């Protein structure tokens, strides 16, 4: 089990996925089926790879892809849901209302480009910062946060 705060360097996409899976197991062990994960990192930093691993733990068998054009992808399995958001094109709270963001509940929410919606972060949440440390290397920092 991982302990927070947590920082690790991964050397491949598969290792980034493995850290995502470990975080998913962490959530399951804590009984958190409605956690919020705010993700920060440049394009290609590994946010979607992390979510693939998270889905492996929470919704096994889900075919995870980036929600860049759909804004949200939902994955379900074993009585759990994972809602994967991409906020890159979101510019206001009105945009969040128009996509139904505030209607999502009873799911783990993994939010890419969370810096675009600081006004919508819940009282308690997790943050994941991914930094490129080389062509395939990534530095992942995961912690609990409060608004």
Which pLDDT tens digit goes with each residue over 14-72? 999 999 999 999 999 999 989 999 999 998 899 999 999 999 999 998 888 887 768 89
For residue 101, tell me if it sits in a domain: yes
pLDDT at res. 34: 92
Q: What is the CATH number of the domain that holds 41?
A: 3.40.50.300
Q: How many domains does the chain have?
A: 1
With respect to residue 147, please indicate whether it lies within any of the assigned structural domains. Answer: no
The per-residue pLDDT for 3 is 87
Tell me the DSSP string of 82-129.
Answer: EEEEE-TT--SHHHHHHTTGGG--SSEEEEETGGG-GGG--SEEEEEE
| Domain presence at residue 60 | yes
Distance CA 33, CA 35 (A): 6
Q: Is residue 47 part of a domain?
A: yes
Report if residue 87 sits inside a domain.
Answer: yes
Identify the CA nearest to 110 among candidates 62, 67, 77.
67
pTM comes to 0.93
**In the prediction, which pLDDT does 52 show?**
95
What percentage of the chain reaches a pLDDT higher than 90? 80
**Is 1 a domain residue?**
no
State the residue range of the domain holding 39.
Answer: 6-142
Asked if residue 49 lies in contact with residue 20, where contact means CB atoms within 8 angstroms, the answer is yes
């Amino acid at each position: 089990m991982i302990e927070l705060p947590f920082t690790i360097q991964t050397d491949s996409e598969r290792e980034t996925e493995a850290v995502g899976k470990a975080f998913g197991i962490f959530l399951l062990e804590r009984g958190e089926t409605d956690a919020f994960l705010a993700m920060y990192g440049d394009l290609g930093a590994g946010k979607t790879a992390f979510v693939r691993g998270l889905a492996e733990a929470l919704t096994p068998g889900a075919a995870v892809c980036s929600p860049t054009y759909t804004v949200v992808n939902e994955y379900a399995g074993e009585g759990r849901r994972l809602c994967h958001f991409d906020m890159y094109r979101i510019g206001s709270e009105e945009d969040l209302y128009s996509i139904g963001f505030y209607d999502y509940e009873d799911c783990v929410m993994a939010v890419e480009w969370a810096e675009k919606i600081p006004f919508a972060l819940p009282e308690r949440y997790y943050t994941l910062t991914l930094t490129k440390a080389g062509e395939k290397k990534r530095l992942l920092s995961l912690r609990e946060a409060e608004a």
